[in-house]
Amino acid sequence: MLVVETGSEFSVGGGDLLSVAGLLWEGRAASIEEAVAQVSLDFGETQELAMPEQVVFVFDVAGVETAFGGYTVGEEWVARAKIGSIYVTLTGQPFDPADVVLERVADIEPYILAPGASISATNERRGSGYLPVALKCM
Whole-number pLDDT of residue 9: 66
Whether residue 60 is found in the same domain as residue 80: yes
SS3 20: helix
Whole-number pLDDT of residue 42: 74
Whole-number pLDDT of residue 29: 94
User: Is the Cα dihedral 88, 122, 132, 51 positive or negative?
Assistant: positive
User: Is the Cα dihedral 21, 26, 29, 30 positive or negative?
Assistant: positive
Whether residue 90 is found in the same domain as residue 43: yes
Nearest to 32 by CA among 41, 42, 22: 22
DSSP state of 10: -
Task: Name the pTM for this structure.
Answer: 0.73
**Range of the structural domain that residue 125 is part of:** 105-133
Q: Mean pLDDT in runs of 10 for the chain (138 residues)?
A: 71 79 92 92 73 95 93 94 88 89 80 61 44 37
Whether residue 93 is found in the same domain as residue 42: yes
In a domain, 24, yes or no: yes
Whether residue 63 is found in the same domain as residue 124: no
Whole-number pLDDT of residue 62: 87
Whole-number pLDDT of residue 129: 40
